[in-house]
Amino acid sequence: MSKNILVISEIRDGQFRNVTFEAIAAAKEISAGGEVTGVVLGESVTETANTLFHYGVDRVLKVESEKLAQYTPEGYTQALQAVVEKEDPDGIILGHTSIGRDVAPKLAARIGFGLVSDAISLEITGEEVIFTRPIYSGKAFEKMVVKDGLIFATIRPNNIAALEKNDTLTGKVESVDVDIKDLQTIIKEVVKNTASGVDLSEASVIVAGGRGMKGAENFKILDELAEVLGGAVGASRGACDAEYCDYALQIGQTGKVVTPDLYIAVGISGAIQHVAGMSNSKVIVAINKDPEAEIFQIADYGIVGDLFDVVPKLTEEFKKV
């Protein structure tokens, strides 16, 4: 039976995040020919909202309010609850980003449904939707079956392929009026502290440095390699604790969970808490001077050597490609 699915979009710097397009692809599959509706929240979003049609949605709903200019759990939950109550969908899909992780459980509690969080794939069997999600820091996978009721899930970025963009697909953005009550939290300024312009959680290439980098100034060689590869720089907690870089770059159990196409671990030993955040990367390359380092056990390719020799050489070689 076909289903109507809402996709809650996420905008950063005036553009949809990739995970929104991945959520649309997941919603299309679940909808089985039903209607997929993108929901866009913000202060003034019409122009951006128009572009969502290119990624395969059938309808686009926008909720505009100065109270939605920045993400706040209160504002977003109120707006989304109103949209869900109006639309009465069969399913809701959104990204497992810091916003998704925050707002989805709140919304689930408000509307009285369960939530499948952090799904990395899905399959449909008859009327059932089966989501797969990593558990125990990625050491095992669990299948969660939604048999009936609302299909509500967050999906991990970089795991479900987005549909190909089609600029000829267009439509008319519909407006939903929501009376958002005064917010307890006001965001006055957003300070960005990622080194490169590439968002770590959505980057297809990550070059991550550990305590082996020996100093903040040495992260420059990682910036150079990441730039040549069009990637982002990440770090182990060892590097963050040593004040080589900001905690915003930390990958692992208590940092960001990433699944890039290519993860290059530089001077990182491979502690279980680090591996929890990156072990699902498609290809892992480890550079470490210790041949016994744990990281080599999960690496697809290992380079035993001094990172200060290896990394600049890699950068030079990639520049030639």
List of residues contacting ligand FAD (CB under 6 A): 210-212, 236-239, 250, 252-255, 267-269, 271, 273-274, 277, 287-290, 293, 306-308
In angstroms, what is the minimal distance from the CB of 218 to ligand FAD?
9
Task: List CB contacts of 189: < 8 A, sequence separation 6 or more.
Answer: none
Closer to ligand FAD by Cβ: residue 59 or 237: 237
Q: Least Å distance between CB 226 and ligand FAD? A: 17
Question: How near is the Cβ of 236 to ligand FAD at its closest, in Å?
Answer: 3
Please, what is the minimum distance in Å from the beta carbon of residue 305 to ligand FAD? Answer: 7
Closest approach of ligand FAD to the CB of residue 8, in Å: 27
**Which tokens is 27 given?**
């919603």
The least CB distance from residue 316 to ligand FAD, in Å, is 17
- Of the pair 31, 250, the CB lying nearest ligand FAD is at 250
Give me the least distance between CB of 283 and ligand FAD, in Å please.
19
Q: Nearer to ligand FAD by C-beta: 128 or 290?
A: 290
| Calpha distance 180→24 (Å, rounded) | 26
- For residue 80, the one-letter residue type is L
Query: Other C-beta atoms within 10 Å of 67: how many?
Result: 21
Give the residue with the Cβ less far from ligand FAD, 63 or 226.
Answer: 226
Strand order in the sheet with 283-288: 232-235, 205-209, 262-266, 283-288, 301-304
Minimum CB–partner distance for residue 31 and ligand FAD (Å): 36
Q: Which is nearer to ligand FAD, 59 or 274 (CB)?
A: 274
CA 202, 206, 211, 213 dihedral sign is negative
Closest by CA position to 22, among listed 170, 203, 163:
163
Q: Using CA atoms, how far apart are residues 290 and 5, in angstroms rounded to an integer?
A: 50
β pairing state of 11-12 and 15-16: antiparallel
Nearer to ligand FAD, 115 or 242 (CB): 242
- Strand 121-125 and strand 128-135: the pairing is antiparallel
Structural contact between residues 247 and 240, judged by C-beta atoms closer than 8 angstroms = yes
Cα–Cα distance between 76 and 84 in angstroms, integer?
12
Residue closer to ligand FAD by CB (options 113, 247) is 247
Instruction: Please state, in angstroms and rounded to a whole number, the distance separating the CA atoms of residues 80 and 52.
Output: 18
CB of 206 or CB of 293, closer to ligand FAD:
293
Question: How large is the angle between the packed helices 98-111 and 73-87, nearest 10 degrees?
Answer: 50
How far does Cα 177 stand from its chain's mean position?
Answer: 28
β-strand pairing of 91-95 with 59-64: unpaired
